[in-house]
Amino acid sequence: MGRRKVTVFGGTGFLGQCVVRRLLEQDLSVRVASRHPQRGAELFDNNDARTEPVTADVNDDRSVAAAVAGAEGVVNAVSLYVERGSQTFHSVHVEAAARVARLARDAGVAQLIHVSGIGSDARSESPYIRSRGQGERVVREVFPAATLIRPAVMFGRGDAFVVPIAHLLRRLPVFALFGRGRTKLQPAHVENVAEAVARTMTGTQHRLCYELGGPRIYTYRSLLEVISRHLGRKPLLVPIPFGIWRPLAHVAEMLPRPPITRNQVELMQSNNVAAPDAPGFDDLQIAPTSIEDALTTILGRT
């Protein structure tokens, strides 16, 4: 008997590469599926026969079918934060999610894990949040036994959350809040989320949905204060109405690397906290890491 093979779509992304490493720690064979397989070759040991970087575009039936052929498990960790041309929230989070689920089912894949996010809602007025919820729904329709992984906003080395905030806090004496900074957040360490995916893939029992929030709930303002203290800064935190943030984010999205996007503004209008009765890290016997314990690793010492 050979090793179990798992295909990870988005295996070179922020979460995906952590998932690949955790699966390798479980001595699985991992097919790293992405549009840029050379990045997979750079990230993972070329001499490790357990890794197989492959070209796969979740918008293309043929490449997805090839990527899932012969796999026992599939993880879809593909996400989109800014729409560009034909790459829309609906095409990636709904159509592509359905494609991966359908072709995984047709290939006889035993286990599918679909990564979504806390707060996903098919009825939301936000295109981003709505597409996430619709994606969950179509995945369940096509592959009823699929496991949904719904992390809170994730942090870790090279993240798009703590690192950009710290970059600004180091330089600005005044920092703009989303609204009054009262939105509640329960950030989850990307390595903990990856471990949850790996344990779900290798465990004998699992729930159909996990909501993964970190050990502490912060308001946005209190989270900024935690990061500021680590940096030795004390900026003036100024409330800015959401009605002003939306047009600013729309303009920012025209930049190659936008510092803020409309979907981020929309996400910050609702609490990003795991439901108290939802299965989570505890059910997977994972002790989540707090932001305080990870800041030195993420940002270095001050």
In a domain, 237, yes or no: no
Please state the pTM of the whole predicted model: 0.94
- Kind and range of the H or E run holding 209: strand 209-212
Q: Residue 176: what residue type? A: A
Residue with more model confidence, 137 or 300: 137
Specify if 270 maps to a domain. Answer: no
The answer to the question of residue 174 being in a domain is no
The answer on pLDDT for 47 being more than 70 is: no
Residue 16 in any domain: the answer is yes
* Span 125-161, pLDDT tens digits: 999 999 999 999 999 999 999 999 999 999 999 998 9
Residue 9 lies in a domain: yes
- For residue 4, pLDDT over 60 is answered with yes
Indicate whether 192 belongs to any domain.
yes
| Amino acid letter for position 240 | I
Asked if residue 226 is part of any domain, the answer here is no
pLDDT tier, 3 (very low <50, low <70, confident <90, very high otherwise) = confident
Look up the CATH number of the domain holding residue 23: 3.40.50.720
Q: Is residue 292 part of a domain?
A: no
Phi-psi region of 267 (alpha: psi -120 to 50; beta: other; left: phi over 0): alpha
- As for how many domains the chain has, the answer is 1
- What residue spans of the chain are helical by DSSP H? 14-25, 37-43, 61-68, 89-90, 97-106, 127-142, 162-171, 190-202, 220-231, 242-252, 262-267, 291-299
Can you tell me the mean pLDDT for 103-117? 98
Q: Give me the domain span that covers residue 65.
A: 5-152+188-213+275-286
